[in-house]
Amino acid sequence: MAKYLLLKHYRHSGPKPVPGTEAMMDQWTPEEITAHIEYMNRFAEKLVESGEFVSEGALSPEGTFVRYDGEGRPPVTDGPFAETKDLIAGFMIIDVESQERAYEAAAELSAAPGQGGRPIYEWLEVRPFFAELQATAE
Amino acid sequence: MHTGQVNDLLRTLAPQVLGILVRRGADFAGAEDAVQEALIEAVQHWSDSLPDDPKAWLLRVAGRKLIDAQRSEAARRRREQRVHDEPPPGPTEQSDDTLLLLSRCCHPALSPASAVALTLRAVGGLTTAQIARAFLVPEATMAQRISRAKRTIAGERFDTPGDVRAVLRVLYLIFNEGFTGEISLADEAIRLTRQLVAAEAAEPVRMDPEIAGLLALMLLHHARRDARYTASGELVPLDQQDRSRWDTAMIAEGVAVLQDALARDRLGEYQAQAAIAALHDDAPTADETDWPQILEWYDELARLTSSPVVALNRAVAVGQVDGPRAGLAALGDVDPGLARWDAVAAHLYERADDVGRAIQHYTAAADRATSAAERTHLIKQAARLRAQA
């Protein structure tokens, strides 16, 4: 088994959105939003049932950059930056048998219904976690 | 009694009790749940004082849990009588049950992850929560993995052992999960493999020397575990390990187990891999490693399996025996798609004094590493060569 992070972005510098899917959620109808949320909840439940769910979370779009500024000094903060190219909306961590299965799960997440009940065709970023080094690998 | 001792005792008894219930006709999934509940009850009661016959206590409580569950399930109402009417088990059945249970938990219809989880719970006597923590997943997820596995093998007959090679593959997977965390899965795999060796020893006709081969392989690798990482968790490669920290008693045991297996003259992959590990363990210093013999074993392994990983490791051995250029030539025939290909190339180029290419390959290898420890190690190799250049 291997763990993968499925990243949802508000915005990203990856591939261009599929034409016709650009409308943000605030332009959907309330029913469309509910259908979307229900799909996402059901997706997570299915992953628990299949023994593949690890964790999920949603992130506020407003964030701040923070760094160390020397001994005894308070942290330095910067932002928020309205125009950053990459903005993460949320994540899901899954523990699956293969990379193919991770992609399959990501594609299912990407098929969540959006405007008009059509799949949103959203690009998900799939990143493998580092594993433990195998005991016999030497 | 000490909690640790109680846990050890329970984990030894759990599969025995499960085996008895299953052979008396209880269905596997229900019996397995009943044993888990009995274990939880035992932990509460046994810390003060141990019952006179712990196994009988556990069997009685598990039997009662099973009946309770069956009573509440109308469709299964009739089964309790069958469980009750069976005669008590004979004295020799414990060893038989180990293989019986293991071969069902490692049934080929199960995915590797399901087989691993079910084996650890049903035969390893671990709780779902412990297994979940060992694999860093939520308990609910692990519980589902286990119950799905049980559904998959529901209806399988439990009276004859299945494929022992499938069991060995699962034990090998558990061992490879490593030594970190509250439960050492490597220790757990060794414990289960020892039980299997003992079970098979009762039936020498069926005895597959690969079982002992796998135990030897585990022991010969596990003996080096303390020398494998620095205190801060960085990887120490084999040729730089402090060999005084290797577990010599474990090496001696591994070598003895391996010799017994090899004497039966039915070579297999695990025995060949164990032989290679034994040759590494046997060298007082890295320079004294018997690489020509290791290369012979890799040639043997290459005949047994078409695994590209074997071909990759063989290239390292060729490099040690015939020089780095010969190693690079051997590497040329290996699929460069393998994650560790660049790491091997880097090592060989470094030994061939081609520092530029070595740095290039160490950097590429770091980007392809599949564990954080490897990545750090490879980045440091590239940094070390840059500092020298």
Query: Residue B96: its pLDDT value, please?
Result: 62
pTM of the model: 0.86
Residue ranges of the domains in chain B?
Answer: 1-88, 95-207, 210-301, 306-389
Query: Residue B80: its pLDDT value, please?
Result: 46
Q: Is B112 on the interface with A (CB under 8 A)?
A: yes
The whole-angstrom distance between B372's CA and the closest CA on chain A is 6
Interface contact flag, B375 A54, Cβ < 8 Å = no
Q: For B98-134, how does the pLDDT look when each residue is reduced to its tens digit (9 = 90+)?
A: 888 898 899 989 999 999 999 999 999 898 999 999 9
Query: Residue B106: its pLDDT value, please?
Result: 93
Q: Is B141 on the interface with A (CB under 8 A)?
A: yes
B371 contacts in A (CB within 8 Å)? Answer: 130-133
- Cβ atoms of B273 and B302 closer than 8 Å: no
CATH code, residues B306-389: 1.25.40
- Report CA B123 to chain centroid distance, whole Å: 13
Query: Residue B159: its pLDDT value, please?
Result: 67
For chain B, 389 residues long, give each residue's pLDDT as a single digit of tens.
Answer: 677 788 888 888 998 899 899 888 888 888 999 999 999 899 888 878 889 999 999 999 999 999 888 777 655 445 444 544 444 444 444 556 788 889 889 998 999 999 999 999 999 989 899 999 999 999 999 999 999 999 998 877 766 677 889 999 999 999 998 756 677 899 999 999 998 998 877 776 667 899 999 999 999 999 999 999 998 888 999 999 999 999 999 999 999 999 999 999 999 999 999 999 999 999 999 999 999 999 999 999 999 998 999 999 999 999 999 999 999 999 999 999 998 999 999 999 999 999 999 999 999 999 999 888 899 999 999 999 999 87
- Cβ atoms of B101 and B15 closer than 8 Å: yes
Q: Which residues contact A13 (CB under 8 A, 6 or more apart)?
A: A85, A86
Query: Residue B74: its pLDDT value, please?
Result: 56
Query: Residue A13: its pLDDT value, please?
Result: 82
Average pLDDT of the segment spanning A75-100: 90
Q: What pairs with residue A93 in β-bridges?
A: A5, A55
Query: Residue B90: its pLDDT value, please?
Result: 45
Query: Residue B339: its pLDDT value, please?
Result: 87
Query: Can you tell me the distance from the alpha carbon of B119 to that of B131, in angstroms, rounded to the nearest whole number?
Result: 10
B148 contacts in A (CB within 8 Å)? Answer: 49-51
Query: Residue B89: its pLDDT value, please?
Result: 43
Q: State the alpha helices, DSSP H only, in B283-354.
A: 291-304, 308-322, 324-331, 341-351
Q: For B26-77, how does the pLDDT look when each residue is reduced to its tens digit (9 = 90+)?
A: 888 889 999 999 998 998 888 788 899 999 999 999 999 998 887 776 554 4
